[in-house]
Structure 1
Amino acid sequence: MSEPSGNNEPVTIAATTCSALSALDEPLPGTAATALGYVCLEFPSGWGRDVLDGTALGAGLAAELSARADAAGVRFMFIRRPGRDVVRSTRMVLLARTEPGATWCERLEITHPAELLDIVPQVVAGPSPGLGAPVGEPVVLVCAHGRRDQCCAVLGRPVAGALAAEFGDAVWECSHTGGHRFAPSMILLPTGYTYGRLDAAQSADAVRAATAGRVYLPGLRGRSTWDASGQVAEIAVRTLTGTDHLDEFTVDDGTVPVVHHRDGRAWRVDIEKRDLPPRPASCGAAPKPVYPVVATRVTPVGALDRG
């Protein structure tokens, strides 16, 4: 398996890696991490296998940040500039909320990670809290977390470098996005739309689409606002209708998700869980079965009374 590098040279990755094995038969829709909000801390180096395992921030602070992020439904990540190990006296923080119609992103500078303890709960508490400067253009996060899995580093870093050459400071390398077997993996903030298996050119197309207020469908894993079923349902309806505007849809998660268009139309999406043969979830891990969620039928149900 080969992917273009930032120098337009192929990056070859073995056919036995987790990402190569996943690409054989595992569908992408429904695989984005579920998160109503994101807190991204600039941390140039020293990442552990898990960002909150205590390696980088110390056990006490990491445990408290993890507890607060879990309670708020927020995903905590490390970010750094592509290709550079920049150490500064302050650290950039990106905050984002993903809910359609209420998305926002802010950036601010802090001097110590402990300042985030009071910030994390505010990310999903309501409208933009005004803690920092508003960010109007999409923020691009490309997983390059080599300590977590080699596929993220080998496939992600060239994509991040190529995107940075075009989109500049909008692009960051980031820690684990959830699902390194879908590498290269990319998240666009503030929406939380997450992508997998896109090369540098396709990734740039996805960023350009987001900048224009549209959703790029190839490689789309889902919007992290929803759970796996909701992500699958939204993508199925977008594919059926050809609608690509960012915030056209909301989803009622459930056993049978219902996807609502803002013009009043709605679709019921029947889903089922498939059973695929065992494969490693990460390189070197023991093979385990995977159970992707897939859409089996999309049924228009007309305008629904949402109470």
Structure 2
Amino acid sequence: MTTCATASQALHEPLAGTAATATTWLLIEQPGPWGSKALTESHLDPAVGRALESAADGTGVRVALIRRPGRHADCGRAIRRRVFAAHTAPGASWVRTTEITDPAELLDLDFAALGAGARFDGTPAPAPLALVCTNGKRDRCCALLGRPLAETLAAQATCDTWEITHIGGHRFSPTLLLLPYGYAYGRMTPHAVKEATEALRDGRVITENSRGRSTWDRPAQAADLALRAHLGEYGADAVTVTEVSGTHPEWTIRLRHAAATWSVAVTSAAPAGATATPASCGATPVPQERLTAARPRCELRR
């Protein structure tokens, strides 16, 4: 059986610049089944789910549901739920957590402030937080490939592992998001996750199989990874994006590293003669555009 993930891997589709964008993640524990649009198709009150989506729109906050790996008990709505908020900006990354009974309490949050990095009312959560996309109702690859990875990571107990409803990029399954820094990964294995989480504890970022840092839009994600590869830089907060100019399909990204300013030209296009593939299982196959980052150019050294 050909899936979107096997088709993507067979074509060696690059991962850089494919991460979901969010400066801040708001994660709400919700056991039981998830539908394709999980915030309104689960045992979370759909009215609350819609209100959370609306409140987060345009603020930089991305809301998702999480649950522990394994069997998902159908326990209804009246439960104590773990909630995490994580801000991903360089030099200001954090993860905080609390417990609530009624998710409607979260509608009292100032979402614009949360997206800008205002601290969430909770206690610091131990890093790293590992989130594996497993929502088979959204895409079967997430269930077929994501759930076994999540269960293995939970059994190894090397990091705090949760399943998550959606982080995009089904065709790169199994996909992973690591917080607090917000780097997403694709085509992951338990060994690769172990390396990435051990590095994160030391404030370093593994760039192999990285899709990018969710803090930035996708062209900037590709530029960040290109500069890191060019410099051999792994420090999580060593690179920051300062300016994005241009529009699809060409951008110029300016970044700061130490005492230097760099620019990276990024383009988006489907390769000539590219094979049509689905962006997700069941989608119409089309030639998929890829982001290409040129060699970074140093503009200024202080």
Q: Kindly tell me: are residues 93 and 35 of structure 1, through their superposed partners in 2, closer, same or farther at Cα, counting changes over 3 Å?
A: same
Partner of 1:253: 244
Aligned partners of 2:170, 2:299: CA distance in 1, in Å? 36
Aligned partners of 1:241, 1:233: CA distance in 2, in Å? 12
Partner of 1:232: 222
Match of 1:148 among 138, 144, 160: 138
Match of 2:114 among 88, 105, 123: 123
**Does residue 49 of the first structure (1) align with residue 36 of the second (2)?**
yes
Q: Kindly tell me: are residues 111 and 217 of structure 1, through their superposed partners in 2, closer, same or farther at Cα, counting changes over 3 Å?
A: same
Aligned partners of 1:288, 1:109: CA distance in 2, in Å? 44
**Does residue 20 of the first structure (1) align with residue 6 of the second (2)?**
yes
8 Å CA contact 2:33, 2:72 repeated in 1? no
Structure 2 gap segments, 5+ residues each? 246-250
8 Å CA contact 2:39, 2:65 repeated in 1? no
More moved, 41-50 vs 269-278: 269-278
Partner of 2:20: 33
Aligned partners of 1:284, 1:120: CA distance in 2, in Å? 38
Deviations 1:40-96 (A, max 9, x none): 110011211012334443442222111111132211111111114255830000101
- For the residue of structure 1 that corresponds to 2:157, the secondary structure is helix
Aligned partners of 2:5, 2:124: CA distance in 1, in Å? 35
Aligned partners of 2:290, 2:217: CA distance in 1, in Å? 13
More moved, 33-42 vs 164-173: 164-173
- For the residue of structure 1 that corresponds to 2:199, the secondary structure is helix
Deviations 1:231-274 (A, max 9, x none): 0000001111111011101012232001211x221221111112
Match of 2:157 among 164, 167, 187: 167
Which aligned pairs between 1:267-278 and structure 2 lie closer than 5 A? 267-275=262-270, 276-278=274-276
Query: How far did 1:200 drift?
Result: 1.3
- For the residue of structure 2 that corresponds to 1:172, the secondary structure is strand
- For the residue of structure 2 that corresponds to 1:123, the secondary structure is helix
- Percent sequence identity is 42
Equivalenced residues, count: 288
Q: Kindly tell me: are residues 169 and 253 of structure 1, through their superposed partners in 2, closer, same or farther at Cα, counting changes over 3 Å?
A: same
8 Å CA contact 2:60, 2:116 repeated in 1? no
Partner of 1:200: 190
Counterpart residue identity of residue 206, structure 1: A
Q: Structure 2 length normalisation: TM-score?
A: 0.90
Partner of 1:179: 169
Partner of 2:233: 243
Counterpart residue identity of residue 277, structure 2: R
Structure 1 gap segments, 5+ residues each? 1-13
- For the residue of structure 2 that corresponds to 1:160, the secondary structure is helix
